[in-house]
Structure 1
Amino acid sequence: MKKIACLSLGFLLVLPLAANAQEKEDDRVKESGQVLRDILESPDKGIPHDLVDKSECVVVYPSVKKAAFVVGGSYGRGIITCRTGENFSGPWSAPAMMALEGASFGFQIGGQATDFILLVMNEKGAKSVLSSKVKIGGDASAAAGPVGRSATAETDIVMKAEILSWSRAQGLFAGVSLTGSTMRADNDANKKLYGKELTAQDIVFKHEVQPPPSASMLLSELHKISPKRKP
């Protein structure tokens, strides 16, 4: 009886911890959706919508902060969603959790948190980001994205890049290079969000994974702005 009582007590103690962990990841998904909506809906300084139309995945890192205990180091957590279906031609997937680590984000203003949005522009870049730890600018070619809804997206550097990136800090929005930083799947966070072991590839490529309610803003915005990929 004592053993059963101890097991029951342990189970009751674990439940609140699991709920708090899931709530934390839900908040990350919600914040990512809000950042994406703010930037895509910006009338004059947002991301060109024709680039979103050509992209295969969107990555959002809200509130990336400098790690004061590591010189120049930074760390952020966010989400990735990709177009589903053959040749990335279907609707946007449930979000998978991602981590961003960088040697130096010198453009951060006064140590303030910075939001990042990345567009993954081709299949090679998408599969690379989802399958392993990727060094931006090394394993995947990258460039600072052009700013402004009417900005041209036909420059050589934009056309050749696998990843385009932007930042927003203290209201300032700009294309920014993340070369030298690394991205990886945050599978511990995926487990907390979905309640079971799932890799980023499982979430993005397996249609049976349903998005959590916290992803409603994120996915509704993408379906509104870019419901279908354009060549």
Structure 2
Amino acid sequence: MNKAEADLEVQQARISLLQFTSSPDTSTPRWLLARCKGVALFPGMIKAGFIVGGNYGTGVIMSRRPDGKWSGPAFFRMGGASIGFQIGAQSSDLFMVIMTKVGLDAVLKNQAKFGVDASAVAGPVGRDAQAAIAGGSLKADLYSYSRSAGAFLGASVSGAGIEFDQASSTAYYGRPVTVSDIFDGKVDLPPSAQALTEALNKFK
């Protein structure tokens, strides 16, 4: 991506976040957001062909720093996620809530495979989901959800691989950066990143 394309990706990630958290059936993801260590937003995951299998797309991952503030977005590519698509839909937004240090450390490796480097399950929904997570009967390093054609549901990313998109991150911030640089707050946030962090700061 060039700078303009990367900026648009962050804007789309913010729109996706607002859509995910404004639906009446997303109380559990909102509850998780207030307690998580990181969040991943992959707007417009594309349905791959039968031979390729899975789905692929680009998106951003952000971490919550020890002071409670959100980092800027680091750009990633993902492939192989088994995301549910509604009939007739060709793309789906993916939303992942990273709950543990193990999950965040997997992202910091630049390349990771969910289900191997970090446990991942389809995000639970419903009024009993929060109790199951809080009570420890449903544990995972991250929970994932998808939104396709207006429908909200849990999504499986186990087996999916992610890779840090160095070129897009460099284009966005105007200089070579690492995931650690971004997560540790060693970059200046463009306006689109500031808008995204402000949206996330509402969940505390």
Mark yes or no: TM-score above 0.5. Answer: yes
Select 1:192's aligned residue among 162, 166, 171.
171
User: Are residue 219 (structure 1) and residue 200 (structure 2) matched?
Assistant: no
Higher helix share: 1
Cα pair 1:21 1:192 within 8 Å, conserved: yes
User: In the alignment, residue 152 of structure 1 is paired with which amino acid?
Assistant: A
Structure 1 partner of 2:6: 25
Please give the root-mean-square deviation of Cα atoms over the aligned residues, in Å. Answer: 2.1
User: Are residue 143 (structure 1) and residue 143 (structure 2) matched?
Assistant: no
C-alpha separation in 2, matches of 1:108 and 1:53? 27
Matches within 5 A, 1:168-183: 168-183=147-162
User: Are residue 90 (structure 1) and residue 71 (structure 2) matched?
Assistant: no
Shift of 1:130: 1.9
Cα pair 1:190 1:198 within 8 Å, conserved: yes
SS at match of 2:8: helix
Q: How has the CA–CA distance of structure 1 residues 167 and 152 changed in structure 2, closer, same or farther, with 3 Å as cutoff?
A: same
SS at match of 1:29: helix
User: Are residue 43 (structure 1) and residue 24 (structure 2) matched?
Assistant: yes
User: In the alignment, residue 35 of structure 2 is paired with which amino acid?
Assistant: K
User: Are residue 108 (structure 1) and residue 85 (structure 2) matched?
Assistant: yes
Q: How has the CA–CA distance of structure 1 residues 99 and 80 changed in structure 2, closer, same or farther, with 3 Å as cutoff?
A: same
Show CA shifts across 1:211-230 (max 9, x none): 2111233211111122xxxx
Q: Report how many aligned residue pairs link the two structures.
A: 201
SS at match of 2:129: coil
User: In the alignment, residue 203 of structure 1 is paired with which amino acid?
Assistant: I
Identity across aligned pairs (percent)?
34
Cα pair 1:39 1:47 within 8 Å, conserved: no
Q: How has the CA–CA distance of structure 1 residues 46 and 64 changed in structure 2, closer, same or farther, with 3 Å as cutoff?
A: farther
Q: Which has the larger radius of gyration?
A: 1
SS at match of 2:2: helix
TM-score, normalised to structure 1, is 0.79
Structure 1 partner of 2:142: 163
User: Are residue 61 (structure 1) and residue 42 (structure 2) matched?
Assistant: yes
Shift of 1:151: 4.9
Select 1:153's aligned residue among 130, 135, 144.
130
Q: How has the CA–CA distance of structure 1 residues 162 and 211 changed in structure 2, closer, same or farther, with 3 Å as cutoff?
A: same
Q: How has the CA–CA distance of structure 1 residues 112 and 129 changed in structure 2, closer, same or farther, with 3 Å as cutoff?
A: same
- Structure 2: where are the runs of 5+ without partners? none
Q: How has the CA–CA distance of structure 1 residues 46 and 188 changed in structure 2, closer, same or farther, with 3 Å as cutoff?
A: farther
Structure 1 partner of 2:181: 202
SS at match of 1:180: coil
User: Are residue 132 (structure 1) and residue 113 (structure 2) matched?
Assistant: no
C-alpha separation in 1, matches of 2:150 and 2:48? 21
**Range moving further from structure 2, 90-99 or 28-37:** 90-99
Higher strand share: 2
Q: How has the CA–CA distance of structure 1 residues 44 and 211 changed in structure 2, closer, same or farther, with 3 Å as cutoff?
A: same
